[in-house]
A and B are shown apart, each in its own frame.
Chain A
């Protein structure tokens, strides 16, 4: 059973608009969440993270929102750029106890 779910396999957005990638989790013990970005023929690279003590973390064009009651997090990219086209993986862990559990990924295509 998938503990981390990314229900949208793909997303297409116009350049300059906002991209919103969603992630749901089932394990209420998860307290640390990360987003990784993966280009073709490369390994995933860390993008941004958030601890469960926060509900928002921002880094430049990237913002992650956490809704603990809904067990939901989202990654907002604004404005979206063609170079953002990649597969985005959501990951979660019980800090200090378990390694990262990843979702299946969402392929983002930013159209110029």
Chain B
């Protein structure tokens, strides 16, 4: 398997623009997670899905953030409008059964810079 695939790897945009990050999880994994990494907060969970259904989005910082999983092989994280403080590395991860000590498999991340 190719692992978790994220795109784009790098995104530079201007404040106010819409940003869409994409993720393809490992086939057969039931859980999909979106994490954000910053120096100040480390790796923080934004939202996770189980079988394409959002389970907990309490980590989503504001209404400007939204995530969807229209099918088992694709998820998006959208920021609209983007702000400079959204600059971070966004990771998607998937797991067979993360809530029972399952291991998370991470993508390589999408580095977002909002000017």
Q: Which residues of A contact B (CB under 8 A)?
A: 6, 32, 34, 36, 41-46, 49, 51, 89, 93, 95-105
Nearest CB on B from A19, distance (A): 19
Cross-chain contact A44 with B99 (CB below 8 angstroms):
no
Cα(A36)–Cα(B105), bound, Å: 10
Nearest CB on B from A38, distance (A): 8
Cross-chain contact B99 with A105 (CB below 8 angstroms):
no
Cα(A98)–Cα(B105), bound, Å: 17
Cross-chain contact A93 with B101 (CB below 8 angstroms):
yes
Nearest CB on B from A54, distance (A): 12
Number of B residues with CB within 8 Å of any CB on chain A: 24
- Which chain B residues numbered 29 to 70 have a C-beta less than 8 Å away from chain A? 31, 33, 35, 41-45, 48, 56
Cα(A97)–Cα(B102), bound, Å: 12
Cross-chain contact A102 with B44 (CB below 8 angstroms):
yes
In the assembled complex, B72 has its CB within 8 A of some CB on chain A: no
Cross-chain contact B45 with A99 (CB below 8 angstroms):
yes
Q: Which residues of B contact A (CB under 8 A)?
A: 4, 31, 33, 35, 41-45, 48, 56, 91, 93, 98-101, 103-109
- Given A95-B100, A96-B99, A99-B98, verify A43-B107 contact (CB < 8 Å): yes
Nearest CB on B from A95, distance (A): 5
Q: Is the interface of B mostly helix, strand, loop or mixed?
A: strand
The CB with the most chain B CB atoms within 10 A, among A42, A43, A46, A97, is that of A43
- Determine which of B42, B56, B98, B105 lies in contact with A102 in the assembled complex, contact meaning CB atoms within 8 Å: B42
- Determine which of A46, A97, A105 lies in contact with B42 in the assembled complex, contact meaning CB atoms within 8 Å: A105
Cα(A32)–Cα(B99), bound, Å: 10
Nearest CB on B from A40, distance (A): 10
- Determine which of A34, A43, A98, A103 lies in contact with B91 in the assembled complex, contact meaning CB atoms within 8 Å: A43
Residues of A within 8 A of B100 (CB): 95-96
Cα(A99)–Cα(B107), bound, Å: 17
Cross-chain contact B106 with A43 (CB below 8 angstroms):
yes
Nearest CB on A from B65, distance (A): 17
When C-beta atoms are compared, the residue in chain B nearest to A49 turns out to be B101
Nearest CB on B from A88, distance (A): 11
